[in-house]
Amino acid sequence: MNGKKICISIVIGLVIIAAAGLLIFFIFRDSGQDDVLYIPTQESPAPPFQCEIVEIEDYEVEEEPETTPMPEYIDYDAYSDDYNDEELERTLPELTTGLIRWHTYPTWAFDQVFQFREGMAGVEYFSSPGIWDSTHTLGYINNVGEIVIPIDHTHEPFVYAYRGAPPFSEGRVAIWCNTRVGVGIFDTVGNLVVPFYYHWGWAFSGGLMAVQRYGYWGFIDKDGNVVIPLEFEEANDFFEGLAAVMLGGYWGFIDTFGEVIIPFTIQQAFDDGHGFPIIPRFSNGLVAVSTGQRGVGNIRWGFMDRHGNMAIPFMYMEVRDFSNGLASVALGGWGADEHEIWGSRQRWGKIDVDGNVVLPLEHDWIDPFWGDVVFASHFDNGLVVYDRYGNHIVEPNRFSRAFGFSEGLIAVHSGHWEDALWGFIDMHGNEVIPLKYNEVGGFSHGFASVSMGGWEYNQRGSRVNTSRWGFIDLEGNIVVPTVFDEVRNFSEGLAWVRMGAYWGLLQITEED
């Protein structure tokens, strides 16, 4: 009996001790004392930012072969092991008209090529030729056809889908590489200046580049030195000497010394019209800001100056950045007038930097990007083209489409999309180059790409475009025959052209 009492006493004692332990645990769990702070493992935050992050570890660059071999594509007959430049040169036309000549370069079967900037152009192979969704392998070629940055930096297509291969800026380019899980920064002679250390990076602007590691953003110089510590939640490039950075979910602006110029009070909403969020940036001395977040209340947009003062009050439903002194702005709402019979319509117009309305807010769409020329769609009158002062260049419904304003000319077309023909008009609406081309590109270096040909039916009964591409000058003369399957516009005196599976380069020259 005594033994039974002893056992019961022991059990009761253990229960009391356990209860006391639990009581102490719950009392001190959330006490706020630094040494007893309870953090559930499933909600553990990211490692705290360490200043040591600026000390970049030495990076051993693998020795690259002197030349990059052509990729071996399986079951793709267009790529031939027997290919050489001499054979391709014999298949090309004699381009001797005007100032353009064909120049033979080490030509490769690139799947994608991009325009030159600072003497460098991005080139890509696809893991599955012709399939955009396959993995891309990116490198860079210089303006004499030499592969400077080896084509072995793999990335998924969505990484650069919006802007293509990132262009060089201020002698540097940041390349994302899947296999190294980060970005490396290269110079124009192929040196890896900053190793694959940061997890993301933008472009150099004002000698600085925004970079990110473990969720924190800051800025480095061209040698990789950290100039502004990595302590922000988001960061953007410098525009007009100021960069947007985020803390606590709010945007503010810093200068190139890291000094806060505009406090962290700015919220952003909506997107840029292409599905990408609007990141605040200065243009023409002003930045677009809103009164709240998308979907929270009835927000309004206005513009702030470099001192943080509201230069144009919060009054618009949506806005775009200023370009060449003009910004697209919109008003709208449910049942705004007697014509609103099927819901909400935004009515777009243009304002200047003083907030004056240059183009009335009566359009259902306005292209925000061209500056000196405004392309708009009027609710009742269709396509309209204005100059920067709101004067008609093209009266309503004269053309079905128009785009671009380059070297004084505007591309226009009329008719159904399959049978429409393109040409060019000047700033007065005069037809300078007749509407006779299947497709056109904008002018650059005095030349525009054009295609001629037509639609034909193949053996399967499908209608296919058999047009071929060449180039015209500002007077409409064909200076490069329309013999190429694909072309790119001229950039830095060079234009990519493709014949069959292979890309080559055209160059502008003053030689006779």
- pLDDT tens digits, one per residue of 90-124: 455 555 445 556 554 445 568 889 999 999 999 99
> Is residue 338 over pLDDT 80?
no
> Is residue 501 over pLDDT 80?
no
Lowest mean pLDDT among 196-200, 491-495, 496-500: 496-500
What proportion of the chain, given as a percentage, has pLDDT over 70? Answer: 69
- Around Cβ 223, how many Cβ atoms within 10 Å? 8
Q: Give the model's confidence band at 469: pLDDT under 50 very low, under 70 low, under 90 confident, else very high.
A: very high
Q: How large is the average pLDDT for residues 20-44?
A: 38
Q: How large is the average pLDDT for residues 189-195?
A: 94
Q: Is there a contact between 331 and 364 (Cβ–Cβ < 8 Å)? A: no
Q: How large is the average pLDDT for residues 334-350?
A: 59
What average pLDDT does the structure give for the chain? 76
> What pLDDT shows up at residue 107?
53
Tokens 């069959």 sit at which residue? 500
- Measured distance CA(125)–CA(123) in Å, rounded: 7
> What pLDDT shows up at residue 276?
60
- Measured distance CA(421)–CA(164) in Å, rounded: 28
Q: How large is the average pLDDT for residues 471-489?
A: 90
> What pLDDT shows up at residue 34?
36
Q: Is there a contact between 160 and 150 (Cβ–Cβ < 8 Å)? A: no
Q: How far is CA 457 from CA 178, 221, 438, 453, 460, in A?
A: 42, 56, 17, 13, 8
Model-wide pTM > 0.85: no
The more confidently predicted of residues 357 and 13 is: 357
CB contact set of 47 (below 8 Å; sequence gap of 6+) = 214
pLDDT tens readout for residues 354-404: 999 999 998 888 887 776 888 888 776 678 888 888 888 888 878 888 888
Q: Is there a contact between 472 and 450 (Cβ–Cβ < 8 Å)? A: yes
